[in-house]
Chains A and B, each alone.
Chain A
Amino acid sequence: MMDNRLFPVIEDRMDWTAKRQQMLSANVANIDTPGYRTKDVSFSEQLQLLQLNVTNSKHMTPSGTDPRMEEFEVKGKVGLNDNSVDLDREMSELTKNGLQYVALIQFVSQKLKTIRSAINEGGRG
C-alpha cells in the first residue's frame, strides 16, 4: 500500500535544502565583506541515504556512510574589494534552492492527501 519509508528521505532532503539556504544567505549577507569567498555545499553523498529494498544481490546497496555535507569554495572572480561573491549567481541559486524546497513540500503534501483519502475511505472524504 503506502510506502511511508519515503518520508524520512524527503525530510532529510528538506533539511539539506534548508541548510544550503543558510550558506547562500551568508554569501548574500557578506557581499561587501573584504576577504570573503563564496561558499557552497555539495550533496554528493545524499543518494546513499535512500533506504532501498535489496531483493537481489546485484542491486545497489546503500552504503550508509555519514551523509555529511561538504563545504567548498566557489571559484569566481575576486573583485576590487577582495570579495568573490557574484550577486547574480547567489540570487539564482537562492531562487532555485527555494523552489526545490517548495517542490519537496508539495510532494509531502500530496502524500499526506493520499493517506487522508485512504483514512476517509476514498470518496467520502
Chain B
Amino acid sequence: MSLFSALEINTTGLTAQRRRAEVASSNLSNTDTTRTAEGGPYRRKDVVFQTTTFGKELLNANVRNQGVEVSAVVEDTTPFDRRYEPGHPDADSDGYVSYPNVSAMEEMANMMSAARSYEANIGALSIIKTMINRTLDLGK
C-alpha cells in the first residue's frame, strides 16, 4: 500500500533530523573540550544530507520514492579558537590554548532548525496515519 511507503519516507526524515540533533548536541557539549581521543581539541562536526531512493517505483522506472539519509558526518576544518591562557595545562609554548571551533550560538540555531524539521515530519506522519486509520474503518 502506497500510504505505508509515505510513512517510511517521513521516517527517514525523522532519523536524519535526529542524527543532526545528536551531532549538534555533541558539538554543544564539547564547546570547551581541549583533549580528545584523537589528540588535540574537539573539532566541530556536521551532517551531510542526501536523498535516498528505495522501494517500488512510484510513477515509472525513473521516479522512485525519495527519502533522506545522513550520508556522512564530516569535520569542520575551520581553525581552532586560540586563547591566551598560559596557566592552562594544554597551553603551547607561547601560552595559547586551542579551543574547539564550535560556536554555541550556531549550534543552538542548528538544533532548533533540526527540531522544526523533525516536527514537520511528525506532522506529515500524523496526517498519513489518519488516512490509514480511515481506510481501515471502511465498511464498518
Give me the interface of A with B, judged by CB distance under 8 Å: 15, 18-19, 21-26, 28-34, 36, 39, 41, 68-71, 87, 90-91, 94-95, 98, 101-102, 105, 108-109, 112
Contacts and interface: CB of A to CB of B under 8 A. Distances in A.
**Looking at chain A's contact residues, is the secondary structure mostly helix, strand, loop, or mixed?**
helix
A33 B50 contact: yes
How many interface residues does chain B have, given as a range?
35 or more
B131 A98 contact: yes
Contacts of A25: 6-7, 9-10, 13, 124, 128
A117 to B, nearest CB: 14
Contacts of B135: 105
Given A18-B6, A33-B51, A98-B130, 11 more contacts: A19-B59, A21-B6, A21-B131, A28-B124, A30-B67, A32-B16, A33-B49, A39-B66, A71-B63, A91-B124, A98-B131
Contacts of B123: 28, 91, 94
